[in-house]
Amino acid sequence: MVFVLTVSQQQNVATTSSWTVYRRLEMFEQLSLSIGAEFRHLNLPPCPLVASANVSNMQVIERCRDDLSRWLAPLLSYPYVNSLMQSRSFIDFISAEANTIPAGLLLSQHFFPQAMHHSTSLSIPIPAGQANIGEMDMKM
């Protein structure tokens, strides 16, 4: 299962940068482990367990997406958000291979049009000034 995340970062009052990253469930779990270890003293919530997700059941996919959205939202709103957003794990999660559609995803959309519905979208706004994440590993 692949999740499509749209990330936006306000550069100044008039300019916002946006990019898209494609993340598998395992990548959310890895992010959870990485930031949990790095920010151990904050007792961060773990990534929701959805290992038994049935990718052929749209309700399960939607629930999984909603659970991940609910997990990400508080991470972006806690007082420690600036240090979290500056962590290498988080920066890599929201920027590595930006705007690069995984080859397998293209293939399945071409040969199995219904597979497009298994890509679910999440949006991650990054507040201006509070979280300038600096350099990006972006391929445009």
- Report DSSP letters for the chain, one per residue: -EEEEEEEEE-SSS-EEEEEEEEEHHHHHHHHHHHHHHTGGG-PPPPP--TT--TT-HHHHHHHHHHHHHHHHHHTTSTTHHHHHHSHHHHHHHHTTBT---HHHHHHHHH-GGGGGG-EEEEEEE-TTTT------B--
pLDDT of residue 80: 62
pTM, rounded to two decimals: 0.71
Full set of structural domains in the chain with CATH:
2-126 (3.30.1520.10)
Where is average pLDDT lowest: 16-25, 36-45, 108-117, 119-128? 108-117
**The total number of residues written for the chain in this structure:** 140
Is 127's pLDDT higher than 60? no
Phi and psi, residue 138, nearest 5°: -115, 135
Q: How does pLDDT run across 36-71, given as a tens digit for each residue? A: 999 888 888 889 876 555 667 778 888 888 899 889
Residue 89: HSE in the Cβ half-sphere, 13 Å Cα cutoff:
15
Helix pair 25-38, 58-75: axis angle to 10 deg: 20
